[in-house]
Structures are given as C-alpha cells and as structure tokens.
C-alpha cells in the first residue's frame, strides 16, 4: 500500500487521518503556559515543522478551552507568506497539537536584545512585510491583538512572520470590542481606555514595535498598570536624543503616523483596506518593491546566523531531568464515550477538529457581518476577569461578548511557545 510506512513495528497509514505517528519528534525549542514547541519531521514528506502541543488538563485548569479552539479555528482560515501558518491540527487523549511552519531564525526580541537596536533599513523591511500580513488579516476580519517583537519570527532567510494567535478574534463591523487583551505596553489607547476598538489597534502595535526595534525602548512606559495606562492615553510621543542618528525624517514621520491616538488618522487605517495604499505611498517605504516583496523575492537586509541555536537549550533539559513528562507517541482510546466526559474535554473532542493542509480546504467559521448600524462604546458588555502585567510580555484577555467567543484566561505568554531566543519575561523587570 503506497500510503503506508513501516517504522519499527508500527505501520503508519499516511492516507488515514493525521496523528502524531506521522511525525518524528526532534528537539524542544520553546515553552509556554500549556506545553512546548518542538521540531518535528513529517515521515513521508521529510519536511520540518514546529509542533506546538497543549496539555488538555492544564488548559482546562486555566479555563482556556474556548481560547484554544478559537485559535485553532482562526488558524484554519489563514494562509499568508508572512504568517506562521497552520499545516496540521489533531489531538490525542492528553494533548492538542498544532503543526505550524518552522521558523528557525529566532524572534525579534532575541535579535533586539543581542544587537541593542536594529538598523533602520532592516526595521523598514520587516515593517513592510508585516504590513502585508496585517492587511491580509484585516481583510479576513481578524484582529491579532498581540503584535510585539516576541510574536514576530524570522525564517532562515530573514523574512518576518506573525505568530501566536492566542488572543486573536474576529472583529465585528456592527460594534466595537471592549475586552482587554494583549500585552499592555503595545496596547492602543482605545484598548487601555476601554472606549471600544477594532482592527485599527494592530497598526498602533506595529508602530510601537517598530519604535522599540529602532531605539531599544518603548514610547510609553510606567511602573504599574495605572501609570502605563495614563502614559499611553496622554503622554506626548517623544523620541530619544539620538533618534536622528538611527532613523531618517521619513522614518520618524512613519512612526508618528502609526502611533497616532486617533484611529481615523492612524497610518494604515483608512477603511475598506484602503489604508495599505497610504503605507505603500509613504516616503519611508519608497525603496520597497511591494510586488516583489509580497512574492518573497526581495533579499532581506538581515539574515540570521544559522550556525547558532536561536532558542533556549534548557527546554530539552527539563525532559532529560524528568522535571516533566516527555512527549511520546501514544495510541488514542478507541471510541471514547462523549456523554461520560467532562464538559470541557467533550468540547475539545468535538471542536478541536483535525486539519490537514494537503487535503482540507481553508474555511471561515465566522458569518458575514451586517452593515454598521450602531456602535457600542461602553465597557458594560465586558466581564473583567484578567489581571494585567505591565512588563509588556504577558498576554492577557478578558471575557467579552462583542462578537467574539468567550475568553476567560490569564496566561503566561503563549509567545514563549515560539520564542526561540531569550526568555522575554526576564528582559523588562517590573
């Protein structure tokens, strides 16, 4: 049978539904709230991927089941050159698995900390690529809500990709969202001020990210959540004294355009996808060949050093020292009785469905929105359940009823699941 491979005594049927047995497990390269990420190799195609696996028991304890299902569904909709795309999804009795594009170039936090700051031509190139990804997501009615250096990964060539859709949601065209989600230092005024927001907040976060990459500091800061909120809402946008030596006038103008408190004036925010034209026409991006860029034909100005590991080797040590149970291939229980399962386990069983990019069609789980009628801007529809971290790395979310599934989580950053370099939690002490 052509679709069967025999490994040891266990035959693998590649024509059957995808399981962990379809992959060889290699080294762990990241760690997050519910599990780890390791490099895996598809046994038949020999392609390498990143396997993100999530412990169901931990997920249930942290009340993150709806969140994981939402991430799984959103990823099924997405396929873009500058996004870490989902290739397979499946589960066994203990874990839910995401198999994603492998990015071995490290995250931007890793490179920022190693270099101190990033040259302007490199930042401009990454921001151009990320702009293409954001415009694509917004056309899909998706807000990422957690854009920051930790959530941007480089491939071996140096191209930038958005990852971690842990708090991403579909936006509503009928009302604004009021739930607080993301990493506070990168949140737009509309989020921290609870005035209601939509897709425009991602462009603010992109601007803050660009500012931090250029100057190795953030434009707004504070020693606690209240002070940071006030800084984001009221402080003027200032630049370091050395800014002119690191960034051109056009670059400063672009940062001012992205980090604009009024979303209607923010760079990239003209409605109906017209904002990307403003970005492409901006003087800062004059050197960008956008057509070649989108085809990934442009040579990135920075290429990661692939001779060194861009991740923390201690992730593997945990399993070697038996600090935690290592991931192994295990057979599922045959015909589990859904009626006898706990509600959360049953929800995962029914809704974290199998996905295989070689045979599944990408689908949207979100119905078409109705035209705008009224826009709610109060925060009365939000039940606040999250505690906030101000170090700019912890990802938070609240339960919201503004056109998105219920989120009820406070997590250690899922960004760690794809952070191949320095632990971001150690970089900015409270």
Active site residues: 146
Query: How far is Cα 98 from Cα 69, in angstroms, rounded to an integer?
Result: 11
Length of the chain (residues): 430
Query: How far is Cα 147 from Cα 258, in angstroms, rounded to an integer?
Result: 13
In order, the DSSP letters of 363-408 are: ---SPPPPPP------STTEE--PPP--SS-S-B--EE-SSS----
Number of Cβ atoms within 10 Å of the Cβ of 220: 24
Dihedral sign for Cα atoms in the order 315, 319, 322, 324: positive
Tell the residue number behind the tokens 């020292």, with chain if given.
321
SS3 4: strand
φ, ψ of residue 301 to 5 degrees: the values are -75, -15
Number of Cβ atoms within 10 Å of the Cβ of 9: 5
* Torsion on CA atoms 107, 110, 115, 117, rounded to nearest 10: 70
Residue 12 to residues 2, 5, 15, 59, Cα–Cα distance (Å)? 11, 5, 9, 29
- Residues with Cβ < 8 Å from 399, sequence gap 6 or more? 179, 382, 383, 384, 385, 406, 407, 408
Is 46 annotated to bind a ligand? Reply is no
- Residues with Cβ < 8 Å from 419, sequence gap 6 or more? 30, 107, 109, 110, 150, 311, 413
* Torsion on CA atoms 232, 237, 238, 243, rounded to nearest 10: 120
> What is the spatial order of strands in the sheet that 35-42 belongs to?
23-31, 35-42, 48-55, 95-101, 86-91, 355-356
Confirm if 332 and 44 have CB atoms less than 8 A apart.
no
- Nearest C-alpha neighbor of 359 from the set 161, 89, 165, 97: 89
Query: How far is Cα 75 from Cα 312, in angstroms, rounded to an integer?
Result: 26
The annotation places the binding site for ATP at 52
The annotation places the binding site at 52
């Amino acid at each position: 049978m052509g679709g069967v491979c025999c490994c040891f005594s266990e035959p693998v049927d590649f024509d059957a539904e995808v399981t962990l047995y379809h992959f060889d497990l290699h080294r762990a390269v990241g760690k997050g709230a519910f599990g780890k990420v390791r490099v895996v190799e598809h046994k038949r195609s020999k392609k390498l991927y990143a396997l993100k696996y999530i412990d169901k028991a931990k997920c249930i304890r942290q009340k993150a089941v709806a969140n994981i299902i939402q991430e799984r569904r959103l990823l099924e909709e997405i396929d873009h050159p500058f996004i870490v795309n989902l290739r397979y999804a499946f589960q066994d009795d203990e874990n839910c698995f995401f198999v994603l594009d492998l990015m071995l170039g490290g995250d931007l936090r890793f490179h920022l900390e190693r270099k101190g700051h990033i040259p302007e031509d490199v930042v401009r190139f990454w921001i151009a690529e990320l702009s293409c990804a954001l415009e694509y997501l917004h056309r899909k009615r998706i807000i990422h809500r957690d854009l920051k250096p930790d959530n941007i990964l480089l491939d071996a060539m140096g191209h930038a990709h958005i990852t971690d859709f842990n708090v991403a949601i579909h936006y509503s065209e009928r009302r604004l969202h009021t739930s607080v989600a993301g990493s506070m230092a990168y949140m737009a005024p509309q989020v921290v001020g609870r005035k209601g927001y939509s897709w425009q907040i991602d462009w603010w976060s992109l601007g803050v990210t660009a500012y931090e990459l250029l100057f190795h500091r953030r434009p707004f800061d504070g020693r606690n959540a209240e002070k940071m909120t006030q800084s984001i809402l009221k402080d003027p946008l200032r630049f370091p004294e050395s800014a002119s030596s690191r960034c051109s006038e056009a670059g400063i103008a672009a940062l001012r355009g992205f980090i604009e408190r009024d979303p209607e004036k923010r760079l990239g925010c003209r409605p109906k996808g017209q904002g990307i034209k403003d970005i492409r026409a901006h003087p800062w991006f004059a050197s960008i060949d956008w057509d070649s860029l989108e085809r990934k034909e442009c040579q990135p100005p920075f290429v990661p050093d692939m001779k060194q590991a861009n991740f923390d080797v201690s992730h593997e040590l945990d399993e070697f020292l038996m600090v935690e149970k290592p991931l192994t291939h295990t057979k599922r229980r045959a015909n589990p009785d859904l009626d006898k399962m706990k509600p959360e386990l049953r929800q995962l069983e029914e809704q974290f469905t199998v996905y295989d990019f070689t045979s599944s069609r990408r689908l949207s789980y979100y119905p078409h929105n109705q035209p705008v009628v009224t826009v709610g801007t109060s925060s009365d529809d939000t039940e606040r359940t999250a505690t906030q971290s101000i170090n700019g790395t912890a990802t938070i979310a609240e339960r919201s009823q503004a056109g998105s599934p219920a989120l009820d989580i406070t997590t250690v950053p899922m960004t760690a699941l794809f952070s191949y370099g320095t632990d971001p939690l150690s970089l900015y002490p409270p």
